[in-house]
Amino acid sequence: MRTSAHRPLRLATRGTTREINRRIALNLIRTNQPISRADLARMMGTRRGAVTLLVTELIGEGLVFEGATGEAKRGRKPTFLYIDSRKRCVVAVDIRPTRTFIMVTDLVGKQLASVTSFPTERAPRKFIAALVKRISGMLVEHKDLGRCQGVGVVVPGMVESTAGRVLLAPNLGWVDVDLRDPIAAALKLPVQIENSGKACALAQLWATRDGKTPSNFVYITVSDGLGVGVVLGGEIVRGQHNIAGEFGHVPLNIDGPRCGCGASGCWEAYVSNLATLSRYFGRDLRERPVAAEAAALTVDDLIARARGGDAKALAALLSTARYLGLGLGSVVNAIDPSHVYIGGEIIAAWDLIEPSVRAGLAERALTASARMTPIVTVPPEQYPRLRGAAALVAEPSLAGEGAA
């Protein structure tokens, strides 16, 4: 059974087995729906009667509903089970240094309305006020989608998830910002906050049906910064203070370019969108003032230029790809994942950059098997950060506390 958050272990009681079985059943229904009771019993390795009692309880609580009737060669026709997302929705928020994106989904992450965005206000109080106004307006506009179950917020930085505070978000300039509680108080809704890399890893855990997602993988999200989420044994690795996996701030070269965190030579400083564009223009775009052309150009534009024959654009992308591969080598050596997932705008140029990424990985990986680690790209249009934000809200109802 997979969970997204570190939860303190508690002593097992008579009800522990029942609670674990409930969580297992909910997760199996979510990842395999539509599913019959018979198939659910088979997957759980238990008696049909026990599953029937469990399903009846879940239906009574409004967590599961019965849908269409299937075909059977003989005997009774099966009635399929589904997670009950009817008339319930989730608001997902992806905060980025330049723009903040909002999406409404159901409880299993299905998009229910168009993604909207607005410029990110750097002052936390002003940002919170703008976000609350946007979400309130969306919920009024889409009141036909049902009752909102909560808001999931993804932040490009380190998060203290228990208190809902942003400890450090260098590219936003936020340090020790109380984000969750003011939003929750204003909206009168539960709010969950998470780091972007971990949220993408959670989205990947939830994205693949039939349990086909590997249980040991790393998710790299390349955008305004560089986020990394690590999953081992089907669990997101958090560490003592929820900052495990911050490979983006491990230096490739201590004499390298300045990173937004204040250190020099971080992996992020070599591969972020800003680093790629700075490489193209031959100057650090963090420095002000920035020429109008440089300020307006995006990585998507740069990729289009590279495909159009702009040699300098292609060189900038290939240089980023090499550094991406070199950093991946360190990640693979440290974690030994079965797969690496990579998302972000630069993935649109994967056919151009994959050989360079692979060469960088091969240069640093310690073994032949590490050099051959499968790399899977996740297109931006799948909204992994937003889907991870939605899963933050839905996941607690499908993940139990640990027992000792």
pLDDT tens by residue, 22-76: 778 887 888 788 888 888 888 888 888 888 888 888 888 778 888 766 555 555 6
- pLDDT tens digits for 268-292? 999 999 999 999 999 888 776 556 6
Q: Is residue 128 part of a domain?
A: yes
Give the model's confidence band at 12: pLDDT under 50 very low, under 70 low, under 90 confident, else very high: very low
Furthest C-alpha separation in the chain = 75
- pLDDT tens digits for 298-336? 999 999 999 999 999 999 999 999 999 999 999 999 999
- Are 63 and 167 within one domain? no
- Are 233 and 330 within one domain? yes
| Cα–Cα distances in angstroms (integers) from residue 353 to residues 95, 99, 237, 245, 359, in the given order | 27, 26, 29, 24, 10
Q: Is residue 264 part of a domain?
A: yes
- Are 276 and 327 within one domain? yes
Place of tokens 């978000």: 169
- 8 or 140: which leads in pLDDT: 140
Asked if omega into 34 is within 30° of 0 (cis), the reply is: yes
Q: Is residue 296 part of a domain?
A: yes
Output the pLDDT for position 77: 72
> Which CATH number goes with the domain that contains 332?
3.30.420.40
Q: Tell me the range of 107-116, 157-166, 201-210, 365-374 where mean pLDDT is highest.
A: 365-374
Element (H, E) at 340: strand 339-344
Q: Hey, CA dihedral for 164, 165, 168, 174, is it positive or negative?
A: positive
The answer, yes or no, to whether residue 338 has pLDDT greater than 70, is yes
- Are 67 and 95 within one domain? no
In percent, the amount of the chain with pLDDT more than 90 equals 59
Q: Is residue 11 part of a domain?
A: no
- Mean of pLDDT values over 174-195: 96
- pLDDT tens digits for 212-237? 668 899 999 999 999 999 999 888 99
The answer, yes or no, to whether residue 3 has pLDDT greater than 50, is no
The answer, yes or no, to whether residue 7 has pLDDT greater than 60, is no
- Taking the mean position of all CA atoms in its chain, how far away is CA 20? 25
- Are 350 and 368 within one domain? yes
Please tell me the distance from the alpha carbon of residue 322 to that of residue 305, in angstroms, as a whole number. Answer: 19
Output the pLDDT for position 401: 38
Domain boundary among 48, 63, 84: 84
Structural domains of the chain, count: 3
Q: Is residue 4 part of a domain?
A: no
Domain boundary among 84, 106, 128: 84
Question: What is the average pLDDT score of the chain?
Answer: 87
Please tell me the distance from the alpha carbon of residue 385 to that of residue 365, in angstroms, as a whole number. Answer: 28
What residue ranges in 182-242 does DSSP mark as E strands?
191-195, 217-222, 226-232, 235-236
Q: Which residues pair with 139 in a beta bridge?
A: none
The answer, yes or no, to whether residue 19 has pLDDT greater than 80, is no
Place of tokens 């297992």: 24
By DSSP bridging, strand 235-236 and strand 116-119 are unpaired
Return the number of other C-beta atoms located less than 10 Å from residue 362's C-beta. Answer: 15
Q: Is residue 6 part of a domain?
A: no
- 368 or 9: which leads in pLDDT: 368
Please tell me the distance from the alpha carbon of residue 398 to that of residue 403, in angstroms, as a whole number. Answer: 16
- Are 217 and 354 within one domain? yes
In eight-state DSSP terms, residue 400 is P
- Are 113 and 226 within one domain? no
Q: Which residues pair with 194 in a beta bridge?
A: 154
Domain boundary among 84, 106, 138: 84
Output the pLDDT for position 397: 57
Q: Which amino acid is at 223?
A: S
- Are 185 and 230 within one domain? no
Contact 176, 123 (CB under 8 A): no
Q: Is residue 246 part of a domain?
A: yes
What backbone torsions phi and psi does residue 52 show, to the nearest 5 degrees? -60, -45
Where in the sequence is the domain holding 285, given as residue range(s)? 209-382
How long a stretch of residues is the chain? 404
- Taking the mean position of all CA atoms in its chain, how far away is CA 350? 20
DSSP 112-154: -S--EEEEPPSSHHHHHHHHHHHHHHHHHHTGGG-EEEEEEEE
The answer, yes or no, to whether residue 5 has pLDDT greater than 50, is no
Q: Which amino acid is at 149?
A: Q
- Are 63 and 155 within one domain? no
Please tell me the distance from the alpha carbon of residue 247 to that of residue 61, in angstroms, as a whole number. Answer: 42
- Are 247 and 229 within one domain? yes
Between CA 16 and CA 23, with CA 17 as vertex, the angle to 5 degrees is: 90
| Cα–Cα distances in angstroms (integers) from residue 239 to residues 93, 232, 236, in the given order | 24, 12, 10
- The pair of three-digit structure tokens given for residue 381, joined into one six-digit string: 């249009």
- Are 172 and 220 within one domain? no
Q: Is residue 347 part of a domain?
A: yes
- Are 144 and 92 within one domain? yes
